[in-house]
């Protein structure tokens, strides 16, 4: 039996624009997905998941993971929860040259599913690491990131970026621009997260932005402007930047506010996300924005005081609010 865990993430800047080759800066956070894998003596795959924002389920099926399991729950829920696990299994089989390997898999996660905190990337990264280790084939972190990206791209029909999976694999703060992925230094940030209890449809939201870009020149300009915000934010994160610590956080927050406004103009925010963003700002947060695909899910704010956390907990539509620490470790073996 092998157990691996991988962190979720928040975007300081750059979601959606990263799909079109602009840079993005996500940061790994210490909300993690843990995947336990035990090899079987047949080619069956059995998956148990009890806390992926569903009521919990167990499925078992044979042969290729392309054969859908027969379970008595709505198909979209099964596919949302199983698609990334399926793809991780296929990547692990390929990496270990074990096409007929079977597994018992248990998924546990404290990352809300589809909420913009990188749950699918964390499950995919941890799943590939645990399954390949269980088969006696240890992968370098870079290869785990690459295989996890390919898995997400398959599930998302080619619309994935490398940002989520690279960040989850290596931890810390990272910069992603196209295929160029690298870790960057970042100071400790006073991250506060608000969660509305919902989830956006990533594919639909990405397609919506693509349609806007194709129809309106100014939408294309908006995406490019988000890229410029990322570049300014990256310079501020540099520990050698000539800026006082308090000024650094304040300016990062202002850039986050700009980024949220641009994402809102692209149609990927929602009433609940906007309400949480404004509650954070009015409580004195340096900045606040949605994180991830949008449409529902989470916002991220910067505030070293308890005021934003308190305000979010009393904001209608916010189901949960919490602080998040930067995860300096990416994927790691637990057992």
pLDDT beyond 60 at 55: no
In angstroms, the CA 243 to CA 223 distance is 27
Q: How confident is the model at residue 52 (pLDDT cuts 50, 70, 90)?
A: low
Planar angle of CA 141, 10, 163, nearest 5 degrees: 45
Q: Which of 84-93, 151-160, 262-271 is predicted most confidently? A: 262-271
Give the model's pLDDT for residue 74: 43
pLDDT at residue 39 greater than cutoff 60: yes
**In whole angstroms, what is the distance from residue 128 CA to residue 178 CA?**
22
Q: What does the block give as tokens for 15?
A: 């979601």
Directed axis angle between helix 271-282 and helix 245-265, to 10°? 160
Model confidence at 51, pLDDT cuts 50, 70, 90, reads low
Distance (Å, whole) CA 303 – CA 192? 7
Mean pLDDT of 305-333: 95
Distance CA 127, CA 148 (A): 9
Measured between its terminal Cα atoms, the distance across the chain in Å is 8
pLDDT tens profile 62-94: 444 455 544 444 444 456 557 888 899 999 999
| Averaged pLDDT, 109-121 | 85
Q: Which residues pair with 290 in a beta bridge?
A: 299
pLDDT at residue 126 greater than cutoff 70: yes
pLDDT value of position 155:
82
164 noted as active-site residue: yes
| Cα–Cα dist 191/30, whole Å | 11
How far apart are the C-alpha atoms of 9 and 162, rounded to whole Å?
A: 13
- Residue 58 pLDDT more than 50? no
Q: Which domains does the chain have, with CATH numbers?
A: 2-185 (3.30.230.10), 191-324 (3.30.70.890)
SS3 content of the chain, % helix, strand, coil (to 5): 40, 25, 35
Confidence of residue 53 (pLDDT cuts 50, 70, 90): very low
Catalytic annotation, pick one of 86, 129, 164, 257: 164
């Amino acid at each position: 039996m092998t157990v691996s865990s991988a962190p979720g993430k928040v975007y300081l800047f750059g979601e959606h624009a990263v799909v079109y080759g602009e840079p993005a800066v996500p940061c790994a956070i210490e909300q993690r997905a843990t995947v336990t894998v035990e090899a079987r003596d047949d080619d069956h795959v059995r998956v148990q998941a009890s806390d992926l924002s569903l009521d919990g389920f167990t499925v078992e099926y044979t042969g290729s993971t392309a054969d859908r399991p027969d379970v008595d729950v709505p198909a979209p829920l099964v596919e949302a929860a199983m698609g990334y696990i399926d793809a991780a299994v296929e990547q692990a089989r390929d990496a270990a040259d074990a096409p007929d390997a079977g597994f018992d898999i248990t998924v546990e996660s404290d990352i809300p599913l589809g909420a913009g905190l990188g749950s699918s990337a964390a499950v995919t990264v941890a799943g590939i690491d645990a399954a390949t280790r269980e088969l006696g084939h240890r992968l370098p972190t870079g290869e785990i990131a690459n295989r996890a990206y390919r898995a997400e791209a398959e599930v998302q029909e080619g619309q994935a970026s490398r940002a989520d999976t690279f960040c989850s694999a290596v931890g810390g703060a990272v910069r992603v621009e196209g295929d160029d992925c690298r870790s960057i230094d970042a100071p400790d940030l006073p991250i506060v997260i608000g969660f509305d209890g919902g989830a956006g449809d990533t594919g639909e939201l990405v397609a919506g932005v693509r349609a806007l870009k194709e129809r309106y020149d100014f939408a294309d300009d908006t995406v490019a402007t988000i890229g410029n915000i990322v570049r300014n934010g990256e310079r501020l994160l540099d520990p050698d930047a000539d800026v006082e610590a308090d000024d650094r956080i304040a300016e990062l927050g202002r850039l986050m506010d700009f980024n949220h406004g641009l994402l809102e103009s692209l149609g990927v925010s929602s009433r609940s996300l906007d309400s949480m963003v404004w509650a954070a700002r009015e409580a004195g947060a340096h900045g606040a924005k949605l994180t991830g695909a949008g449409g529902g899910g989470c916002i991220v704010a910067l505030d070293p005081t308890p005021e934003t956390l308190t305000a979010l907990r009393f904001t209608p539509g916010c189901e949960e609010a919490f602080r998040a620490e930067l995860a300096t470790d990416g994927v790691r073996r637990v057992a």
